[in-house]
A = this chain, B = another copy of it.
Amino acid sequence: MTSASFDYAPLLAPNLPPAAAKWSGFPKYNFIGGHNDAEHVPVDELVAAATNVLRREGATLATYGLNSGPLGYRPLREFLVGKLKSHAGITCSPDEILITSGSLQGIDLVNGILLAPGDTVLIEQETYGGALTRLTRQGVKTVGIPLDGEGMRMDALAAALDDLKRRGVRAKYIYTIPTVQNPTGSIMGAARRAEMLKLAQAHDVPIFEDECYSDLVWRGERPPALYAMAGGNGVIHIGSFSKSIAPALRVGYIVAGWDLLSRMLAIKQDAGSGALEQMVLAEFCKSHFATHVPALTKALRVKLDVLMEALSEQFGTSAEFSEPDGGIFLWIKLPDQVDTVKLGQAALAAGVSLNPGPEWSTDKQYSRCRLRLCFANPSPDTIRSGVATLAEVCRKEFGVPTRIANVERAKAR
Across-interface contacts of A251 in B (CB, < 8 A)? 274
Flag whether A62 is at the interface (Cβ < 8 A): yes
Among listed A184-192, A261-269, A313-321, interface-contacting one: A261-269
B271 touches A104 (CB 8 A): yes
CB distance from A106 to the nearest CB of B (A): 11
Contact A46 B41 (CB under 8 A): no
A33 touches B64 (CB 8 A): yes
Q: How far is the CB of A253 from chain B (nearest CB, A)?
A: 15
User: By the criterion CB–CB under 8 Å, are B258 and A275 in contact?
Assistant: no
Chain B, residue nearest A12 (CB): B113
Contact flags (1/0) for A13-46 with B, using CB distance below 8 Å? 1101111111101100000011111111101001
Tell whether, in the assembled complex, residue A63 and residue B266 are in contact, meaning their CB atoms are under 8 Å apart.
Answer: no
Q: How far is the CB of A309 from chain B (nearest CB, A)?
A: 23
Chain B nearest CB: distance from A270 CB in Å? 6
Interface pair A61/B102, CB less than 8 Å apart:
no
CB contact under 8 A between A247 and B61, given known A105-B270, A258-B22: yes
CA distance A231 to B66 in the complex (A): 38
Q: Is A11 an interface residue (CB 8 A)?
A: yes
Query: Is A377 an interface residue when CB atoms closer than 8 A count as contact?
Result: yes
Residues from chain B with Cβ under 8 Å of A266 in the complex: 16-20
Cβ of A131 to closest chain B Cβ, rounded Å: 11
CA–CA, A259 and B12, complex, Å: 11
| Distance of A3 Cα from B267 Cα, bound (Å) | 26
Q: Is A272 an interface residue (CB 8 A)?
A: yes
A6 touches B91 (CB 8 A): no
Chain A residues bordering chain B, tally (CB within 8 A): 104
Give the CA-CA distance A116 to B13 in the complex, in Å.
6
Q: Are A34 and B64 in contact (CB under 8 A)?
A: yes
Task: Give the shortest distance, in Å, between A366 (CB) and chain B (any CB).
Answer: 26
The interface residues of chain A, by DSSP majority, are classed as: loop
Query: Chain A 56-74 against B: per-residue CB contact (8 Å), 1 yes, 0 no?
Result: 0011111111110111000
Give Cα distance in the complex from A172 to B63, angstroms.
33
Which listed residue (B62, B95, B262) contacts A35, Cβ 8 A? Answer: B62
**Would you call A169 an interface residue if the criterion is a C-beta within 8 Å of the partner chain's C-beta atoms?**
no
Q: Is A82 an interface residue (CB 8 A)?
A: no
Residues B269 and A104 in contact, CB atoms below 8 Å apart = yes
A36 interface neighbour in B34, B62, B274, B277, Cβ under 8 Å:
B62
A259→B250 CA distance, assembly (Å): 27
Give Cα distance in the complex from A14 to B11, angstroms.
Answer: 27
A41–B58 touching, CB < 8 Å: yes
CB of A341 to closest CB in B, whole Å: 19
Q: Are A54 and B58 in contact (CB under 8 A)?
A: no
Q: Which residue among A51, A58, A248 has the maximum number of chain B CB atoms within 10 Å of its CB? A: A248
8 Å CB contacts to B: which residues of A77-122?
A: 91-93, 95-96, 101-102, 104-105, 108, 112-116
A11 CB to nearest chain B CB (Å): 6
Whether A248 contacts B20 in the complex (CB less than 8 A), given A206-B6, A276-B274, A276-B277, comes out as: no
Question: Assuming A60-B38, A248-B63, A248-B276, is B1 touching A257 (CB within 8 A)?
Answer: yes
| A–B pairs, 9, beta carbons within 8 Å | A1-B232, A19-B259, A20-B263, A23-B65, A37-B62, A43-B55, A104-B271, A250-B275, A274-B276
9 A-B pairs closest in CB distance = A23-B69, A248-B275, A274-B274, A43-B58, A6-B234, A20-B265, A61-B246, A19-B262, A38-B62
In the complex, besides A8-B114, A16-B266, A276-B280, 13 extra interface pairs with C-beta distance below 8 angstroms are: A1-B231, A6-B234, A11-B170, A12-B263, A13-B114, A19-B265, A22-B95, A46-B58, A102-B270, A104-B270, A105-B270, A134-B269, A251-B274
